[in-house]
């Protein structure tokens, strides 16, 4: 059935979610926007606590390694009689394109095993996971799938582009949804194809102009990293959508002049106004770390722009008022986040697997 309320149904079941590896709350933000009551976020990083609590009133933040969390503790977080959702994005470094999967420490795979353990111990009605595309070829993911199917879940997963869901960014992610309540499907795109994608101009074209090293008085997160004199010259020579190959020879880095570096064109680039941004990484605030130059202004993107490209609301708080913004820390938190718009799509897909009810809650959890 559709997650939309039909004329003969008073409402759909109330879903309560627990967000594992919650970070600053990107997935929680998207789930909540579609009506999921997120009751708790769990993460081992203390830098996530303030932004999570500041933006998710009523949700608990548990500063814990999930290996120390039990299914019994999770069950105590959910209210009686609700549809229980266990969500999460296990840190993806072992499976990223930058990792050598032949030599990666297999102990890092424990996070996905712990996720599977908590599913088994708490028996939620719904499960969702978001991660990097390469995970689907890894053995830990296959083990995770088998555990879900043994638990009676119907499962769907696919690699999707966050731009197809209204995120102003090209970001390929593996999305999994699972339900014990009914058939489930990967969320349908809302902005399918380049003609419907949200562009850099639409997302951040209204923000105040900045110079490198400058911040906005009304929004401390609208802060651009300072550039060296060399990089100021380089960005002035950069074209939107271009590469360092557009520069005069004296600006080209020595590593790019060597034969081994001539094919590395994905750094020191400017974005294009009328296309989505490239994938936000944990170093997205640095002009030399990718195609993270502003399309027009001679600087790298600001932290606020990066957060908007991840589809966070413009008012999302990452630091306490009057606290100094630590660029490296906040950039890492933003780059690691699940885009809220993708979380919204996941919520709609999960609601579609839940049978409609006529009361305020569904008596399927507990």
Active site residue 92: yes
Specify the residue for token string 């080209």.
Answer: 252
- The CA distance from 238 to 270, in Å, is 7
Q: Do residue 176 and residue 34 come from a single domain? A: yes
Write down the catalytic residue from 92, 216, 255, 284. 92
Coil, helix or strand for 299? coil
What's the rounded mean pLDDT across residues 185-201? 97
Q: Does any domain span residue 272? A: yes
- The CA distance from 242 to 200, in Å, is 16
Q: Do residue 116 and residue 235 come from a single domain? A: no
Q: Do residue 279 and residue 230 come from a single domain? A: yes
Q: Do residue 78 and residue 103 come from a single domain? A: yes
Give pLDDT, residue 267.
Answer: 81
Q: Do residue 38 and residue 175 come from a single domain? A: yes
Q: How many CB atoms lie within 10 A of CB 213?
A: 11
Q: Does any domain span residue 8? A: no
Burial of residue 347, with CB atoms counted within 10 A of its CB: 0-12 exposed, 13-18 middle, 19 or more buried = buried
pLDDT band for position 347 (cuts 50, 70, 90): very high
79-103, pLDDT tens digit by residue? 999 999 999 988 755 444 444 444 4
Q: Does any domain span residue 331? A: yes
Question: Which range is least confidently modeled, 139-153, 172-186, 259-273, 285-299?
Answer: 259-273
User: Domain of 73?
Assistant: 15-195+338-351
- The CA distance from 352 to 308, in Å, is 28
Query: CA 207: distance to chain centroid?
Result: 22
Question: Which range is least confidently modeled, 6-15, 210-219, 233-242, 347-356?
Answer: 6-15
Q: Do residue 225 and residue 163 come from a single domain? A: no
What's the rounded mean pLDDT across residues 112-125? 95
Q: Do residue 242 and residue 292 come from a single domain? A: yes
Q: Does any domain span residue 364? A: no
Give pLDDT, residue 273.
Answer: 98
Query: CA 325: distance to chain centroid?
Result: 21
Q: Does residue 151 contact residue 86 with C-beta atoms inside 8 Å?
A: no
Has residue 358 got a pLDDT over 70?
no
Q: Do residue 175 and residue 64 come from a single domain? A: yes
Q: Do residue 224 and residue 184 come from a single domain? A: no
Q: Does any domain span residue 218? A: yes
Q: Do residue 180 and residue 234 come from a single domain? A: no
Coil, helix or strand for 296? coil
Has residue 108 got a pLDDT over 50?
yes
CATH of the domain at 296: 3.90.120.10
């Amino acid at each position: 059935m559709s997650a939309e309320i039909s004329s003969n149904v008073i409402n759909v079941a109330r879903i309560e979610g627990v967000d594992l590896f919650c970070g600053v709350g990107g997935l929680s933000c998207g789930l909540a926007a579609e009506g999921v009551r997120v009751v708790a976020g769990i993460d081992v990083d203390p830098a996530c606590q303030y932004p999570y609590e500041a933006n998710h009133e009523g949700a608990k933040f548990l500063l814990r390694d999930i290996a120390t969390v039990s299914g019994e503790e999770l069950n105590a977080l959910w209210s009686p009689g609700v549809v229980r959702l266990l969500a999460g994005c296990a840190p993806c470094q072992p499976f990223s394109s930058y990792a050598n999967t032949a030599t990666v420490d297999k102990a890092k795979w424990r996070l996905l095993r712990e996720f599977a353990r908590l599913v088994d111990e708490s028996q939620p009605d719904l499960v969702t996971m978001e991660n990097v595309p390469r995970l689907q070829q890894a053995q830990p993911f296959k083990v995770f799938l088998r555990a879900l199917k043994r638990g009676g879940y119907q499962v769907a997963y696919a690699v999707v582009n966050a731009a197809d869901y209204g995120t102003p960014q090209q970001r390929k992610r593996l999305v999994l949804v699972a339900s014990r309540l009914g058939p489930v499907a990967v969320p349908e795109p809302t902005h399918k194809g380049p003609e419907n994608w949200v562009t850099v101009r639409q997302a951040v074209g209204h923000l105040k102009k900045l110079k490198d090293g400058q911040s906005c008085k009304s929004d401390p997160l609208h802060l651009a990293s300072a550039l060296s004199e060399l990089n100021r010259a380089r960005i002035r020579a950069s074209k939107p959508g271009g590469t360092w190959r557009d520069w005069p020879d004296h600006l080209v880095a020595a590593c790019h002049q060597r034969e081994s570096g001539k094919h590395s064109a994905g750094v020191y680039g400017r974005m294009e106004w009328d296309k989505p941004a490239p994938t936000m990484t944990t170093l997205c605030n640095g002009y030399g770390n990718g195609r993270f130059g502003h399309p027009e202004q001679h600087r790298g993107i600001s932290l606020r722009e990066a957060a908007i490209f991840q589809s966070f609301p413009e008012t999302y708080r990452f630091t306490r008022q009057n606290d100094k913004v630590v660029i490296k820390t906040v950039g890492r938190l933003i780059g690691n986040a699940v885009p809220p718009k993708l979380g919204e799509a996941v919520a709609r897909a999960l609601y579609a697997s839940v049978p409609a009810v006529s009361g305020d809650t569904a008596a399927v959890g507990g």
